[in-house]
Amino acid sequence: MNSPDRFRPDAAIGLRCEALLETVEPALNAEVAARLAEPRPPEDGLVLSADVAAELVARHNLADIRELMLLLVPFARNVARPPISNFTIGAVALERETGALLLGGNVEFPGANLGEAIHGEQFLSARAFSRGTSIAAIALEAAPPCGHCRQFLAEFRGGLDVDIITMQGHRIPLRDLLPWAFSPADLGEAGVTPLAPGSVRQSLAVVRSEIAEIPALEQALVAAGQFAYVPYGRAPSAVALRLVDGSVITGAALENVAFNPSLGPLQVALVNLIAAGRAYDEIELAVLGGVEKGAVDYSRDLPNLLATVAPKASFKRVVWEVA
């Protein structure tokens, strides 16, 4: 007996998406752009709250929030920065804990190695990680997540249950795209778990600082370092970016059980910078915090990536130890 093709799209969903893109998309895009332009803290950049998403579903007579996610995929392409491949990816995620929608895209860095490129699904994962949440579903245009992203998404607790939906009509749980997965459990780890505001994954004590005269910046950096997910390297790392107007964007290391799909702290910080609507050339100072002589050390690679995106920015370091 032939089994049904679980990868076959639902043609009705694809046809409805096409029709809605013609009739609803212009007004929807204008409203979403206006919502995202409203003043908000950096952590809420490129985020539509659950209440706003529900309003959009009702106002535009959509079937549900997942249909809204699909219609927002073309809009999310505006987030992407792929100057090497010119292959633009838009992606939308549903946060499991809040019901909010996150918008993201792929990011490439000319002059850096290709391994530092950030895939669209990684962008969304870095945003959820930085917000202390997890992802329940991801909407894409047509192509499924690459193997790199499948492994990356599986690092999150419940990651194999993430639904992948496409504008062509696919709806596939990640576990069907990554059968017999190599997961954090194979190394005795629980995976990335959501954290409440103010919670930490490890406590840190500063040993040496090149920014001791800027205590607020140092405090922001340490707070990010305490949030880092580093169960494999066990060397918490974080980056704080001070912008020309004095505002600060941070990012923490996000490791993966397979090592290579990991995101370094500067990559995560740049994701958060883009989400906050800020530009690379606004970065005047980047500070790396980390463990001296740790198993994982970003101090050699990070300056090169920094130089490709913000060549005029200064670079300083803070050394800490796990308390």
Residue numbers annotated as active site = 121
C-alpha pair distances (Å), 80 with each of 105, 122, 297: 4, 12, 28
Edge-to-edge strand ranges of the sheet holding 238-243: 204-209, 314-322, 283-291, 238-243, 248-252
Using only C-alpha atoms, the chain has a radius of gyration, in whole angstroms, of 20
CA distance 125 to 47: 13
Report which of 309, 259, 246 is spatially closest to residue 81, judged by C-alpha positions: 309
Long-range interactions of 244-250: CB distance < 8 A, separation 24+: 244/282, 244/284, 245/282, 247/42, 247/278, 248/216, 248/217, 248/220, 249/42, 249/273, 249/276, 249/278, 250/220, 250/221, 250/223, 250/224
